[in-house]
């Protein structure tokens, strides 16, 4: 695995550029295509087989130190990071070959949105946040975006779920009641719905494919999960040329813990399958026991641009999906704008109420 990729023209480090769809030298403008495998098909590994081969230290926290090939500075990469930029000369640093991880990514979605395009998507996002303080909109655009490849587990499996429950079927009855009309007590009848319950039991089968679980929690998980969809059909075989110039994180969430998260993603679908199998007008699920089989997984890298800003001693992080331009972020709220908006709603309600009373009532 090549750690050093010098420009054939000037010797500067090449890096992957979304704008040029390949390797690019920021010093002299030389371009070089990435040698990709046109026949690559992302395939999963057998979960149970790999699990049996992992030793106790296979998923320990990873710390890598390396010398920069450009300026010779000794660099200690952040925890669970195997590629980044040199903090001294800003050259790409790829140390994936030094990783001690037993599992390495097999596929990657290369960056398709450039840094400049990410900034434009971010500007549009800022301008659409009506209740954000104006000071943030003026000052939050100047920071440099950081390209990050985020590791994700994907899980495929078949589930077999045995359940017990109850099926509810509606029926209607006539109910007599007493009411007062024009000062007189009268007897009336109304139709009321009832539910008749029957025991139910059975087995349902579900298939899940490409359940995504973030494998590194350095970035805010709620933002990462909202960056979907990714378009995993465009996955390429992993190679360091796609990584150059960006940070590559290694996984911090173990393979088994990732599958536990995947189970939580499966649960709503499984419960819906049970409800459909029970049938009737209402369903109650009393017990459910799920067996997971044919489990396979992949470790893949998904691209994002990261930025953040400081406001009133707080840090607000935002991410841009480097495939689609989707922006997700945390932001402060303007108390002044919210107050004026609430006052506007109060005035509007008062005007509408006056109109209804005087022109309709």
**Span 2-32, pLDDT tens digits:** 677 889 999 889 999 999 999 999 999 999 9
CA–CA dist 230, 322 (Å, integer): 9
CA-to-CA dists, residue 342 to 289, 330, 346, 353, angstroms: 49, 22, 6, 16
Percent of the chain with pLDDT over 70: 84
Burial zone of 112 (CB within 10 Å; 0-12 exposed, 13-18 middle, 19+ buried): middle
Percent of the chain with pLDDT over 90: 56
Give the chain's radius of gyration (CA, Å): 29
> How many other C-beta atoms lie within 10 A of the C-beta of residue 101?
17
Q: Comparing 65-69, 86-90, 275-279, 330-334, which segment has the lowest mean pLDDT?
A: 330-334
Provide the pLDDT for residue 113: 94
CA 138 to chain centre: 28
Domain boundaries, the chain: 15-162+202-330, 165-201, 332-361
Q: Comparing 66-70, 109-113, 186-190, 310-314, which segment has the lowest mean pLDDT?
A: 310-314
Say yes or no to pLDDT of 359 above 70: no
Burial zone of 172 (CB within 10 Å; 0-12 exposed, 13-18 middle, 19+ buried): exposed
Say yes or no to pLDDT of 288 above 50: yes
Please give the average per-residue pLDDT across 318-332, as a whole number: 86
SS3 306: strand
CA–CA dist 145, 129 (Å, integer): 20
Q: What is the chain's mean pLDDT, rounded?
A: 86
> How many other C-beta atoms lie within 10 A of the C-beta of residue 27?
14
**Span 142-186, pLDDT tens digits:** 568 899 999 999 999 999 999 999 999 999 999 998 988 888 888
pTM recorded for the entire structure: 0.84
Say yes or no to pLDDT of 1 above 70: no
């Amino acid at each position: 695995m090549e750690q050093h990729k010098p420009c054939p023209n000037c010797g500067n480090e090449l890096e992957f550029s979304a704008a040029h769809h390949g390797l690019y030298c920021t010093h002299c403008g030389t371009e070089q295509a990435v040698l990709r495998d046109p026949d690559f098909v992302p395939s999963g590994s057998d979960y149970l087989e790999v699990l049996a081969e992992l030793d106790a230290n296979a998923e320990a926290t990873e710390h890598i130190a390396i010398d920069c090939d450009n300026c010779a500075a000794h660099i200690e990469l952040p925890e669970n990071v195997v590629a980044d930029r040199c903090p001294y000369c800003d050259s790409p640093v790829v140390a994936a070959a030094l990783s001690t991880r037993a599992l390495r990514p097999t596929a990657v979605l290369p960056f398709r949105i450039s840094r400049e395009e990410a900034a434009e998507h971010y500007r549009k996002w800022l301008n659409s946040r009506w209740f954000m303080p104006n000071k943030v909109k003026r000052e939050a655009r100047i920071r440099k975006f950081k390209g990050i490849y985020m590791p994700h587990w994907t899980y495929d499996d078949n589930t077999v779920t045995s359940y017990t429950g109850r099926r509810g079927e509606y029926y209607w009855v006539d109910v007599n009641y007493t009411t007062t009309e024009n000062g007189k007590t009268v007897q009336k009848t109304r139709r009321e719905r009832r539910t008749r319950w029957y025991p139910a039991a059975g087995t349902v089968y579900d298939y899940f494919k490409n359940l995504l679980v973030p494998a590194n929690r350095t970035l805010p998980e709620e933002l990462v999960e909202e960056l979907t969809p990714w378009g995993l059909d465009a996955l390429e075989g992993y190679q360091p040329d796609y990584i150059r110039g960006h940070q590559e994180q290694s996984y911090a969430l173990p393979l088994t813990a990732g599958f536990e998260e995947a189970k939580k993603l499966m649960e709503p679908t499984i419960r819906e399958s049970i409800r459909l199998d029970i049938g009737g007008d209402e369903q109650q699920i009393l017990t459910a026991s799920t067996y997971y089989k044919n489990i396979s997984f992949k470790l893949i890298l998904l691209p994002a641009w990261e930025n953040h800003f400081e406001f009133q001693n707080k840090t607000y992080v935002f991410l841009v999906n480097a495939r689609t331009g989707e922006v997700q972020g945390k932001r402060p709220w303007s108390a002044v704008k919210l107050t004026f908006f609430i006052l506007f709603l109060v005035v509007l309600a008062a005007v509408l109420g006056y109109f209804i009373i005087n022109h309709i009532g």
